[in-house]
Amino acid sequence: MTDLPDMPLHERICVVTGGTRGIGLATAHALAAAGATVVLTGRDEAVAKERAAEVASEHGTRAAGHGVDITDTAAVRALFASVAREHGTVDCLVANAGVLEDALIGMIRDDLVDRMLGTNVAGTLACLQAAARVMMRKRRGAIVLLASIVGERGNAGQSAYAASKGAVAALAKSAAKELGPHGIRVNAVAPGVIRTDMIAHLPDDVIAERVGATPLGRVGTADEVARVIRFLCGPDADFVTGQILGVDGGLVL
C-alpha cells in the first residue's frame, strides 16, 4: 500500500531499542505519529510494556514493549525473529540503547570499558546484524544508529564514551556500504547537548559552558532528535545512506 501523505510510515514495522525514556521514547512517539507500528525495548520489561501502551494509546497505532538486554546477543536475535514472525518483516531499526559513564583517563576501570563497549558497540552491532538479516529478505530497510557529538570532537572525562560512539559512526558508514546493495540504508545521528537523563548529572556550569560553545545557544530536546530520526527512517530519505547527521545546534562547527 502507498504511504499516506500525512502518515509516511504507514504499515512500517519499527524497532526502537532503549525506547523507554529520553531520545528513544521520543523516537517511539515520533514514529507512531507517522503511522508506524512500534516495537520498543528496555531492560525492564514491565516499563517497556507500559511505555508501549502509552504510545499506542496516544497515537492510535500498534505498539509493543519487550525487556531486552542488547548485550545478550541471543536475546537480540530472538527479539527480531519474534517481530518478523508476528509482523512479517522489520522495516526500521533505531539502535538507540546505550550507556554513558564519565571517567578521567587515569580512572577508567576495566569494568567501565567492558560496559561501554559491550553496550554501545557490541550491542549496537548485534541489533544491526539481527535487523539486517530480516530486512535482506525483502531487500528494503532503514537503520539509524545513535552516535554522539562526543565521538567526533571528543570531551575531557569521556574518553571511553567517545571511543564507543566514534566506533558507532564508523559502523554506520561501513554497514551502509555493505548493505546498500541489499536495499538497506544505514545512517546515524550524532546528538549534541540534549536535555535527557544523560546530562542530568552534569553541573550547571558545565552545561552552560557547552551551551556557550553551541551557535544556537541552547540545549536541544529529545523531540528534535526524534524528528530527524523519523526523517531518516521515512521515504523522504530514500537516497540518504552512510551519513552521520549532527543534531547539535552547530556545536561541531
Q: Annotated active-site positions, please?
A: 161
Residues 161-165: contacts with CB under 8 Å, at least 24 apart: 161/100, 161/101, 161/102, 161/116, 161/120, 163/116, 163/117, 164/98, 164/116, 164/117, 164/119, 164/120, 164/121, 165/98, 165/120, 165/190
Residue matched to cell numbers 571517567: 103
> Measured at the alpha carbon of residue 67, what is the angle toward residues 65 and 69, in degrees to the nearest 5?
135
Q: CA–CA distance from 202 to each of 25, 102, 147, 249 (Å)?
A: 22, 10, 20, 19
Q: Tell me which residue of 250, 217, 216, 245 sits closest to 230, measured CA to CA.
A: 245
Contact between 237 and 231 under an 8 Å Cβ cutoff? The reply is: yes
Contact between 70 and 40 under an 8 Å Cβ cutoff? The reply is: no
- Cell representation of residue 151: 565521538
Beta strands in 111-219 (DSSP E): 141-146, 184-191
Contact between 116 and 109 under an 8 Å Cβ cutoff? The reply is: no
- Cell representation of residue 199: 546530562
